Amino acid sequence: MVRTATAAHSIWLAHQVATTDLSKLDPWRAESVRLLCTRSGVHCEPLEPAHAAFLSALVDGLDLTAAAEIAMDHDESFDLQAALSAELAAGSFSEIELPGDMATSA
C-alpha cells in the first residue's frame, strides 16, 4: 500500500485519457493506493481512508479485530466484510496466522 500526501493516483489516472476534465481534480488531496505485482502485471486500486487504515494496521501486525476497530475509528460505516472480500479477491494476503489456541485445534 502506498500513501501519498497528494492525489498521485488520480493525477496519473486522469492523464491516461486525453479528454479527461481536470477541473474537479484536487491535486492536494491525500490518497492511499493498493499496489500489487502479479504475473499479469502491476495493479493499482485507490483505497478509502478507513480501508487504508485497516490494511496498514494488519501490515503493522495487529489482529483482525484491532485493525477493524482502527478502520471504524476513521469511518463508522467501514464494512469489514467488503474490505476482506476485496483483499481476498485482489490477492493481497500472503498468509493468515491463527492465534496459538486456534492453530493447534485446526
Q: What is the pLDDT of residues 16-75, one digit of tens each?
A: 877 678 888 898 999 999 988 888 888 889 999 999 999 999 999 999 999 999 999 999
What are the φ/ψ torsions at residue 43 (nearest 5 degrees)? Answer: -120, 135
**Cβ atoms 44, 9 nearer than 8 A:** yes
Helix%, strand%, coil% for the chain, nearest 5: 45, 15, 40
**Cβ atoms 2, 13 nearer than 8 A:** no
Residue type, 18: A
| pTM beyond cutoff 0.85 | no
Ranges assigned E (strand) in 1-106: 2-4, 31-38, 41-47
